[in-house]
Structure 1
């Protein structure tokens, strides 16, 4: 769904720009920028990040997260860099949350602070959008925009419902009950317990909402400043009003990574006050450029962080925990995961592979992962040696005791490696209710696993071993052998002729 929205939004944006924008006019507008204007806009963008950090710190105060102010600001700038450069807003949230949690704070508390910050931020954006739309109506600009009013009203109702669920104990218990039915009860319980720290802090949440409203002034000021620097003829209050509505629509579209959708909506909404498509494109380019430049301090923080390589490699990790698992598994885009492992480990992962962004997973340099391969490291360490390659359709999962793979291992298509298994001793209890056991799996170096091979929990494969296709590997095997069968048995020791004819050929 996210890929469809992203592709559709980008196609609409390209079509609108190609159809309505004049690239010559855009270039002419951009030449009007002066150095003082650029510095002023950059200062606004940097100030926006600082206020965002202060707002996050303030909403975290009931959770007993005690860090120096500089660490909050550093985390916000670094997270903004990840969001803008990779890009993924949620990926930036994961990284800045990890920076805060690595100091020993409970991961569930950090996630609760991120959730509270995001919800309050969305509420502030909606309130500003309401104000902007009301102003446009009073000016006779948006009298017939009933769909916009209905959309804002519906989203406001949804947000108020979420506040009702999270703000009352009964609502949280109901949410945990629903999560338990879909086997997400434990992380939901931890998050609910963390959010309960906000009970009795209505005044603090209200003050944080005021901070969020204040923070929203900066992106609006950045847009108005860009329009002014480009000499776009606009009435300031009407422009701020339409920019507030467009900002809400853009941030809403980012839920599905619909960056193109948001920019297309900006083109349409700015047109309501007579801003041409060319001027809208120029304003957007300047605003995005200033936002990206403002994150450069975050790039320095990120690249100088001596522990950034352990952000997804600590075993066991302190952050972001089980709730962070949900964020990493379902909300971080696959391209971001691939880029992260390439930068950190030098591994080349297909964007169509499903590799978990896990603190337990470590690739050696030169590893490759092909399309439709799934690698999970939820419950234990998964260490993969250098220059190991996974063909299409493999499934690899580590258990509590871990999975260790040597160097130069070849995984044929559709190979399965499982380092855990269900307990099955009680005939009266369903398998999923008896728990999971793990013995661990070890695969040596220079091993070739043929297509369709299954490696079961407790298996150990020695170095220089060849596993014939469709074999079941479920025990310990010595090095330098060829194994085959279900279960697999040694059929030949490598270096030993298989028959007299082969011996004659070798001589």
Structure 2
């Protein structure tokens, strides 16, 4: 509750907000200042048996949540970022090599994410043609990946989408809309090519 009150007051005072943000985030590198990163051990919530490899870029700040569940792993050369929204990863989930995950994102339990996947709840604002895109700030929409999903290599999951339970995102897919549970999607934009029929107890091919 106190954290929310502080955030509200900062939003009401742009000058103080700017000072605090520059104290926490490097204005050019757009990552937490080194003195903030020194204390990540104190504000990151890590579950039993969880692993984050040393080569992972941890752009993780104290004013948003980061949770890594029990026995979950973030593989080498990934980037995890909660600067614009919470990043929650459940139990027994694997974030593969070279992934980029930018909150707000919630990943469930037993989720497998392959190599070089981008999952970003952030979009850059661009509507005013008289201003540079960089000066217009960002907007966010949460991403939810439910339990037991499998995200194939080189896929992109865009802001505001939901990946249903036990769904498969084929390698190289661009997910622009939510995926129902027990579905397989592929392509750019990703479309449903299979769904599980619980009455027939089989996967039904929907590809035309």
Distance 1:484 1:331, change over 3 A: same
Alpha-carbon distance, 1:324 to partner: 3.1
Counterpart in the other structure of 2:166: 464
Is residue 190 of structure 1 aligned with residue 19 of structure 2?
Answer: yes
Please give the alpha-carbon distance, in whole angstroms, between the structure 1 residues aligned to 2:90 and 2:74.
Answer: 13
* Per-residue CA distance 1:377-421 (angstroms, 9 max, x = gap): 0122111111111111100001xxx21111111111100011011
Is the alpha carbon distance of 1:189 and 1:459 closer, same or farther for their aligned partners in structure 2, counting shifts above 3 Å?
Answer: closer
Bigger strand fraction:
2
Superposition pairs for residues 316-465 of structure 1, below 5 Å?
Answer: 323-326=23-26, 329-331=32-34, 337=40, 341=44, 344-346=46-48, 347-359=50-62, 360-398=65-103, 402-465=104-167
* Conserved? CA contact 1:463–1:480, under 8 Å: yes
Highest relative contact order (Cα 8 Å, sep 6+), 1 or 2? 1
Q: Which moved more, 1:431-440 or 1:406-415?
A: 431-440
Secondary structure class of the residue paired with 1:433: helix
Within 1, Cα distance between the matches of 2:42 and 2:52?
8
Structure 1 unpaired stretches of 5+:
1-100, 107-185, 192-320, 500-507
Distance 2:80 2:37 in 1: 12
Q: Which has the larger radius of gyration?
A: 1
TM-score (norm 1): 0.33
| Equivalent residue number for residue 9 of structure 1 | none
TM-score (normalizing by structure 2): 0.76
Instruction: Indicate if the aligned counterparts of 1:334 and 1:354 stay in contact, CA closer than 8 A.
Output: no
**Cα offsets for 1:17-60 (capped at 9, x unmatched):** xxxxxxxxxxxxxxxxxxxxxxxxxxxxxxxxxxxxxxxxxxxx
Q: Answer 1 or 2: which has greater helix percent.
A: 1
Are 1:338 and 1:351, in contact at CA under 8 Å, matched by a contact in 2?
no
What is the CA–CA distance in structure 2 between the aligned matches of 1:453 and 1:491, rounded to whole Å?
Answer: 16
- Give, in whole Å, the separation in 2 of the partners of 1:336 and 1:349: 16
Kept after mapping to 1: 8 A contact 2:36/2:61: no
Match of 1:496 among 198, 203, 207: 203
Give distance in 2, aligned partners of 1:353 and 1:468: 25
Kindly state the Cα deviation for residue 374 of structure 1 after the two structures are TM-superposed: 0.4
Show the counterpart of 1:291.
none
Q: Which structure 1 residue ranges, 4+ long, deviate > 4 Å from structure 2?
A: 186-189, 332-341
Change beyond 3 A, Cα 1:452–1:105: closer
Deviation at 1:329, TM superposition (A): 2.4
Question: What corresponds to 1:27 in structure 2?
Answer: none
485-494 or 350-359, which deviates more: 350-359
> How well do the aligned residues superpose, as a CA RMSD in angstroms?
3.2
- Other structure's SS at 1:432 match: helix
Residues in 1 aligned to 2:106 and 2:53: alpha-carbon distance in whole angstroms: 22
